[in-house]
Structure 1
Amino acid sequence: MRVFDIKFKRKVVRDYLSGKGGYKILAAKYDIADSLVRTWVGAYQHHGNAGLDRQRGRYTNEFKLGRDRV
């Protein structure tokens, strides 16, 4: 599985939002699945740049031990 950096994702999303092509056209241009373009655009529209950042299931030790509760 390929991992895409945030700069590449932003470039694809910017191209889509500026009207340089639809999902399928941009997918062909960048040699990626059109579902990725659709996912990245939706994530960007909903969460901004943070939506394009890879989310890794990292939890703090405090959370794991239940100490983060008030």
Structure 2
Amino acid sequence: MYSPKLKLEIVQKYLQGAGGVKKLAEEYYVHKSDIQKWRDAYLKHGMEGLNPAPKSYRF
């Protein structure tokens, strides 16, 4: 699991043009699809979109 801080760092680098998805995925050892999901969540929900989803429990 990746911290919201790390996700934000990667997304900001991407949005600032400091690297493409492939380059950043290799640099941070994360999957390209994760970066794309984080980018979309950040653009839609801001920093809140990078926080882990609450767990639901069924009893």
Question: Is the shorter-chain TM-score for this pair beyond 0.5, marking a shared fold?
Answer: yes
Q: Flag the structure with more relative contact order, 1 or 2, with Cα contacts below 8 A and sequence separation at least 6.
A: 2
Question: Corresponding residue for 1:22?
Answer: 20
Q: Looking at secondary structure, tell me which structure has more helix per residue.
A: 2
> Radius of gyration: which is bigger?
1
User: Normalising by the residue count of structure 2, what TM-score does the alignment of the two structures yield?
Assistant: 0.89
Q: C-alpha distance in 2, partners of 1:4/1:57? A: 16
Structure 1 unaligned regions, length at least 5: 60-70
Q: How many residues align?
A: 57
Q: C-alpha distance in 2, partners of 1:7/1:30? A: 13
**What is the RMSD computed on CA atoms of the aligned residues?**
1.3
Percentage identity across aligned positions? 37
